[in-house]
Amino acid sequence: MNAMLKPALPPIFQIAHGFDVAPLLAQIDAHPDVWNRHTMRTEAYGTPHAKIDDIWVRYNAWENFTGDIAAFNGPHASTWYPVVNDIPAVKPLVFDVMRLVEGEQLGGVLITRVPPGGRVEPHIDDGWHASYYHKIAVQLRGNAEQAFCFDDAELRPMPGDVYTFDNSQRHWVVNESHDERITLIICIRGSG
């Protein structure tokens, strides 16, 4: 019996556009203190994310952190962090994306900011959370001089674009513009 082969998907591709990101951006701009409340990801030794900023919106409950990073990043049920009180528009946007992709389980939610002229260094994401969930991104701020790159593909998303990416392949982000690049990353598990 011959098995049907699925065509190989590119490691990054746009799945929608036109999402309204203005309410969330307005709330982020009104609360600049939401950035870097948790810096474990950006301050770890040798991290490719050392030169960016994060907003941890949803992940393993912070009270579960005992100093053991590997255990904290291991299997868990993600919970909303208190930052959602400052940026409540994030929840409807996340659930709009969940409906778009017919997601069944929501994992971590992260907002990243790459400064003008900044970058995320080439890397492959590992660990339980990175391999258990599929990654969907919503571009909050972006322009044509900013790129999410893979060895054989890249995407230059505009605000409101929604795209998926394969974090098990080597990837990096460059911001060759004079504007910051802000991305909402949503970790979703489906039925497949």
Q: Residues 124-145: pLDDT tens digits?
A: 998 899 999 999 999 999 999 9
Strand duo 105-114 + 53-59: pairing:
antiparallel
Tokens standing for 180?
């910051």
Dist CA 73 CA 76 (whole Å): 8
Dist CA 84 CA 91 (whole Å): 8
Which helix (H) or strand (E) segment is 186 a member of? strand 181-189
Note the pTM of the prediction, 2 decimals.
0.94
Name the superfamily (CATH) of residues 22-65+80-173+185-189. B-lactam Antibiotic, Isopenicillin N Synthase; Chain (2.60.120.330)
Query: Would you say 72 and 79 are in contact if contact means Cβ atoms under 8 Å apart?
Result: no
Residue ranges of the domains in the chain? 22-65+80-173+185-189
2 has a pLDDT exceeding 60 = no
Q: Residues 84-132: pLDDT tens digits?
A: 999 999 999 999 999 999 999 999 999 999 999 999 999 999 889 999 9
Tokens standing for 65?
């952190």
Q: Residues 68-86: pLDDT tens digits?
A: 988 999 999 999 999 999 9
With cut-offs at 50, 70 and 90, classify the pLDDT of residue 1. very low
Residue 51 neighbours by CB distance under 10 Å: 15
